[in-house]
Copies of this chain bind each other. A is one copy, B any other.
């Protein structure tokens, strides 16, 4: 990468948006097509592992298999780490045992764990067998921690120093430690007490600029967070973002230092959690990937559509109660979707704000009632505004003041309910331990559909018949 930037500045300028150009992809696929291994390696050489992984995700399964076979032993362990889990097992199955072994051995233990956790047992064994005994032990240990925990996220290689050390002792220790026992990248030295409990961080910058005789204690950073090994990775990512952490120690049940998490891993978790939230809010399985097959995609989309069908039928049952009114005044059928639709949209607005605020821990016991009150009042005000508009539309379109009054009233009712349900439902779901991103949407639109149809048709039956 570095070399590429220096020697071919024009390439850097072209790929301004950090994606491979279609021309690059075509050139690579052409090299695969004509079986030109030397050309393929030349084209792939300047690419970052993350870009190669993206390329593999974007081409079809047939091209993917041919490319991987031709690329063969150039295949790097980092590419496996970067690959989306939806095609990782497919890619691993394509690698020859020797290439796989070589690829896996290059990786840090946390990356191997990341790859292993999504694989079938048989593939897990293949990879574990490829590791050296000490690495295998480390990986199996990590897999014993709960999924999505700090233990799975951390790397085991840590740089620590006892409380009584000076800057000079720490630097000498660092120099004497063999390369293999150090993390690939590290930014802090973790100070520990005699029981191995972490008590503070010293940045390498401060260490380097201080006199050799300075006690480490004098250089501790102000902000310092310690994560228990079982802490949820989402909470870890939140804390990194909230407190601007760069790295943080992980401790076992006795509070002893057993690993360290760095911000790049926390950033990746934050990114994934956001993606999951956004997909869940739209009723898409959060494991979905763009490289999923048609069959997998159909199966992942189906459950939410089935839930929606049930709620839509429930709304239809409400409509069916007013068949008499509908058969006498056809304008009701024409106008009724408007009330439901406005309620659904207002409800989705409130719900999205509530779900996000819960995720970012901005909606708490201290402001929950104020927020609910605000959403209901906003629903009321917007309801009145659109009630006036729709009242006039109803009057002008169908020439009936009573119809205008009915639709206006139903609009106000439904938008107030939308504000209440949109905020209340996610809060209640969160309290009882259900992910509000996953389930709120179905509940809120069911409420606004049913209330919308019931208020509009019910009022119409009362007033107009």
Contacts and interface: CB of A to CB of B under 8 A. Distances in A.
Given A294-B374, A327-B330, A337 B352 contact: no
Contacts of A243: 1, 48, 50
A378 B298 contact: yes
Given A187-B187, A264-B263, A345-B308, A290 B361 contact: no
A316 B340 contact: no
Given A290-B363, A305-B382, A327-B330, A242 B50 contact: yes
B326 A333 contact: yes
Interface stretch (A31-39, A134-142, A143-151, A272-280): A272-280
Interface stretch (A67-75, A94-102, A219-227): A219-227
A369 B85 CA distance: 22
A223 B185 CA distance: 12
Interface string A260-275: 0001101110110011
A341 B341 CA distance: 10
A220 B2 contact: yes
A44 B361 CA distance: 19
Interface string A289-311: 01000100110011011101100
Given A302-B385, A449-B337, A57 B2 contact: no
A2 B199 contact: yes
A246 interface: yes
B171 A342 contact: no
Interface in A364-418: 364-367, 370-371, 374-375, 377-378, 381-382, 385-386, 389-390, 393
A319 B333 contact: yes
A385 B320 CA distance: 24
Interface stretch (A113-121, A122-130, A232-240): A232-240
A235 to B, nearest CB: 6
A333 B323 CA distance: 9
A17 interface: yes
A361 B54 contact: yes
Interface residues of A, number: 134
A453 to B, nearest CB: 8
A333 B329 CA distance: 11
A65 interface: no
A275 B356 contact: yes
Given A241-B267, A301-B382, A319 B334 contact: yes
A297 B337 contact: no
A182 interface: yes
19 contacts: A2-B199, A12-B226, A18-B238, A19-B361, A22-B366, A50-B243, A55-B366, A175-B209, A187-B246, A263-B264, A274-B275, A278-B352, A283-B348, A290-B371, A297-B374, A304-B345, A316-B334, A326-B330, A337-B340
Interface of A: 1-2, 5-6, 12, 16-20, 22, 25, 48, 50-51, 54-55, 57-60, 171, 174-175, 182, 185-187, 199-200, 203-205, 207-209, 220-226, 231, 235, 238-246, 263-264, 266-268, 270-271, 274-275, 277-279, 281-284, 288, 290, 294, 297-298, 301-302, 304-306, 308-309, 312-313, 315-316, 319-320, 323, 326-327, 330, 332-338, 340-342, 345-346, 348-349, 351-353, 356-357, 360-367, 370-371, 374-375, 377-378, 381-382, 385-386, 389-390, 393, 449, 453
Given A25-B366, A281-B352, A316-B338, 16 more contacts: A18-B242, A19-B361, A58-B367, A59-B367, A60-B370, A182-B205, A244-B264, A263-B263, A274-B278, A275-B356, A279-B356, A282-B352, A298-B381, A309-B342, A315-B338, A326-B334
List the 7 closest pairs (A to B, CB-CB), nearest first.
Answer: A282-B352, A333-B333, A274-B274, A204-B204, A22-B365, A2-B224, A312-B341
